[in-house]
Amino acid sequence: MTMSYDFMDFIREFSQAKSVAVLTGAGISAESGVPTFRGKGGIWEEISIEEVATISAFETNPVRVWEWFLDLRKTFKNCSPNSAHTSLAKLEERFDDFTLITQNIDNYHQEAGSRNVVELHGNAWWSRCWSCGARFEDKALGFDSLPPRCDCGGRLKPDVVFFGEALPIGELERAIQAAQRCEFMLVIGTSAIVAPATSLPYCAYQSGGKIIEVNLEPTGHSSLASLSLFEPATKALERIVEAMGLD
């Protein structure tokens, strides 16, 4: 049975926690102006997943995938972290064990100051060689020719997880471990649709962690939540930070 909190009861108990995990999805960056992938007005309403975001698409038409991906990088470049991102960086300073697990690839958590970030789906500003496996930071918004090439001659792939690819095992293991040991998990701006990220709140709940949901509307995680804040992430996290005296 999920115990329900009022907001200040949550703050009092949350302030005493030693281990906290956070799971973020596209909703946290939507307030920065970044379109979400799913839902009304989302990226997948404009273009098909199969055309630009599957591993088979990259194998058969890497030029088209890179054209779309460079446009996505430009979108990220033209936007910036918002106060929800910076509030999470402030919370990290407060707790002994704080793990931020994100499904996002925009790098905004790091830009806002978060340090212990688990990137389940990779990072848009890194590339990996399809041939030799070399991985490196890549801030390019354009190339002389596509697909870009590694020094070894192999084609470069954005270092993000396309549909049809497995998640990086090391990052997934870190996320599961953080979920299993946390006293609280904040679940922010995620649709509760994309596996295996959607299983992490269940993992935390089954291990005794309390789920605090921040989203504009109920999701599949709402039944687990001790407290649901159905409001923008910026507003909810600013309230939490202020109540804890961290602003």
> Running DSSP on this structure, what letter comes out for residue 199?
G
Contact between 212 and 62 under an 8 Å Cβ cutoff? The reply is no
Specify the residue for token string 């921040």: 214
Q: What values do phi and psi take at 45, rounded to 5?
A: -80, -20
**b/e code 93-118 from CB counts within 10 Å (16+ = b):** eebeebbbbbbbbbbbbbebebeebb
Q: What distance in Å separates the CA atoms of residue 103 and residue 120, rounded to the nearest whole number?
A: 5
Active-site hit among 85, 109, 121, 221: 121
> 3-state class of 176 per DSSP?
helix
Contact between 120 and 175 under an 8 Å Cβ cutoff? The reply is yes
Tokens matching residue 243? 């109540």
Active site residue 85: no
Contact between 129 and 52 under an 8 Å Cβ cutoff? The reply is no
Catalytic residues: 121
